[in-house]
Amino acid sequence: MTDRQGAADGQRAAPRRARIADVAADAGVGVGTVSRVLNGSPHVRAATRQRVLDAIERTSYRPSQLAAGLSRGTPRSVAILVPFLTRPSVVARLAGVIEVLGVEGYDTIVFNVETPAQRDHHAYLLTERHRAAGVIVISLPLLREQRAALIAAGMPVVLVDVAAPGFPRTVVDDVRGGELATRHLLDLGHRRIAFVGDPRGGRPARDEFGFRSTADRIIGYRRALTAAGIPVDPTLIRSGPHSAAAAAELTRDLLRLPDPPTAIFANCDTQALGVLSAADAAGIPVPGGLSVIGFDDIETAVHLGLSTVRQPLRESGARGAARLCRLLRGETVTPLREELPLEVIARGSTAPPPSPAAGAPAPDGGGRRAGYQPNA
């Protein structure tokens, strides 16, 4: 029988938000009980719970995340640190994270890092437990001191697509990925295979990200080549900024070589796009005159019929988020290092080399796909 906020008078009085005490009063119970109902405590009689639920309904009560967070000591939101948010592979992972976290009742705060300085800035802020209940780091190597600070702060952290000793992480085997891509090309009969990617980078430093996947993929590339008895030719390994444009430039050089490659393994699909356009600009048909394979399997790869090494992007984010939630519940995650599968997706951008170079009679059906040929 509570007065519906002075209904009689015409002017709507400021409809003061109901607080937990209002609900308690309305239900005729203590605030503790309401809190218990809110947090799903088992120590509440079904009948009481129902009374509280009704009161909540009547008062249109909405709990304050803020107050709950303060009281609890940690908010119901997690921070996620990503480098270059707009890159397709990154945003796909992010979507996976957000989806899972949302279902688990956590808000996702996104920190985008585009310079080492931003990385340092955000990494510092995230050691504050009142800012986020936990942290998910995607594809971004952290400095040793930053990892230490996170640990010292007791901050629950999971890594996605990066590794660091002692941290729960969801990754793929990039070395194996490099091997898979290269072997796919070898199986088609290629013998002169180039690699186009980012600079190998060292370890993360004050002024460097130190991304590691390229280096690993190159290791796999070399390994596959060596296993096939083909000497690694350093002039076929090129690196430049992480962009299609840069990849295109590198490809241009490669194609001008006296003995140009018949196939190119691009470090990621975006760079593969650059390779494709450079090939086109040079009038070299793909896969007729050049085979191209990328990495990641982003959406455009499908549209362009790009062969690639697929990794479960969205799922990696989802898995990482799920593991963080486990951590936040006080459970432990195991194994610390979770590996997701890699798979070669052969589309139309790879085929046997122009003139039967070596053996291998093209095991593939030589599938070809739709694409774009502006200069036809």
Partner DNA sequence: ATGAAAGCGCTAACAT
Partner DNA sequence: ATGTTAGCGCTTTCAT
| Site for DNA, rule CB under 7 A | 1, 17, 19-21, 24, 28-33, 35-36, 38-39, 42-45, 47-49, 61-64, 66-68, 70-73, 130
Residue with smaller CB distance to a copy of itself, 75 or 177: 75
Token pair 């062969």: residue: 307
Could you say whether residue 246 binds a copy of itself (CB under 8 A)?
A: no
Residue with smaller CB distance to a copy of itself, 95 or 219: 95
From candidates 28, 30, 67, 363, binder to a copy of itself by CB under 8 A: 67
- Helix intervals (H) in 155-212: 174-187
Residue with smaller CB distance to DNA, 36 or 212: 36
b/e map of 274-306 (b: 16 or more CB within 10 Å)? bbbbbbbebeeebbebbbbbbbbbbeebeebbb
156, 199, 216: which is closest to 339 by C-alpha?
216
Query: Which SS3 state, helix, strand or coil, does residue 311 take?
Result: coil
Least CB distance to a copy of itself at residue 129 (A): 8
Q: Tell me the per-residue interface mask from 269 to 308 with a copy of itself, x by CB under 8 A, - otherwise.
A: ----xx-xxxxxx---xxxxx---------xx-xxxx---
Residue 325 identity: C
Least CB distance to DNA at residue 3 (A): 13
* Total residue length of the chain: 376
The Cα–Cα gap between 292 and 275 comes to: 8
Residue with smaller CB distance to a copy of itself, 196 or 279: 279
Residue with smaller CB distance to a copy of itself, 54 or 299: 299
Secondary structure element (H or E) that encloses residue 265, with its range: strand 263-266
Could you say whether residue 348 binds a copy of itself (CB under 8 A)?
A: yes
The Cα–Cα gap between 292 and 261 comes to: 11
Task: Report whether 155 contacts 131 (CB < 8 A).
Answer: no
Token pair 């003995």: residue: 259
Residue list 176-235, contact with a copy of itself (CB under 8 A): none
Say how far residue 152 (Cα) sits from the centre of its chain: 25
Least CB distance to a copy of itself at residue 7 (A): 4
Residue list 312-331, contact with a copy of itself (CB under 8 A): 330
Binding partner at 211 among a copy of itself, DNA, none, C-beta below 5 to 8 Å by kind: none
**Nearest 5 degrees, angle CA 63-CA 64-CA 68?**
100
Binding partner at 210 among a copy of itself, DNA, none, C-beta below 5 to 8 Å by kind: none
Could you say whether residue 160 binds a copy of itself (CB under 8 A)?
A: no
Binding partner at 338 among a copy of itself, DNA, none, C-beta below 5 to 8 Å by kind: none
Token pair 């405590």: residue: 41
The Cα–Cα gap between 302 and 86 comes to: 19
Could you say whether residue 362 binds a copy of itself (CB under 8 A)?
A: no
Q: Residues with Cβ < 8 Å from 32, sequence gap 6 or more?
A: none
Binding partner at 299 among a copy of itself, DNA, none, C-beta below 5 to 8 Å by kind: a copy of itself
Q: Tell me the per-residue interface mask from 96 to 135 with a copy of itself, x by CB under 8 A, - otherwise.
A: --xx--x----xxxxxx---------------xxxx----
Query: Which SS3 state, helix, strand or coil, does residue 347 take?
Result: coil
Task: Report whether 91 contacts 144 (CB < 8 A).
Answer: no
Least CB distance to DNA at residue 321 (A): 22
Residue with smaller CB distance to DNA, 1 or 8: 1
Binding partner at 348 among DNA, a copy of itself, none, C-beta below 5 to 8 Å by kind: a copy of itself
